[in-house]
Amino acid sequence: MSDETQSRISKGVYIHYCMHKGCNKWGAYGFKGRYGTEWFCFEHKDDGNLTPL
Ligand SMILES: [Zn+2]
Establish if 39 belongs to a structural domain: yes
Interval between CA 39 and ligand 1 midpoint (Å): 9
Establish if 41 belongs to a structural domain: yes
* Nearest Cα to Cα of residue 48 among 25, 20, 22: 20
Establish if 6 belongs to a structural domain: no
Establish if 22 belongs to a structural domain: yes
The string over 5-44, giving b where at least 16 C-beta atoms fall within 10 Å of a residue's C-beta and e elsewhere, is eeeeeeeeeeeeebbbeeeeeebebebebeeeebbbbeeb
Each residue of 2-45: pLDDT tens digit? 565 554 445 455 678 999 999 999 999 998 877 788 899 999 99
Interval between CA 44 and ligand 1 midpoint (Å): 5
Establish if 37 belongs to a structural domain: yes
Domains held by the chain: number? 1
Establish if 1 belongs to a structural domain: no
Residue 24 belongs to domain spanning: 13-50
Alpha-carbon span 20 to 5, nearest angstrom: 27
Establish if 8 belongs to a structural domain: no
Categorize the per-residue pLDDT at 47 as very low, low, confident or very high, splitting at 50, 70 and 90.
Answer: confident
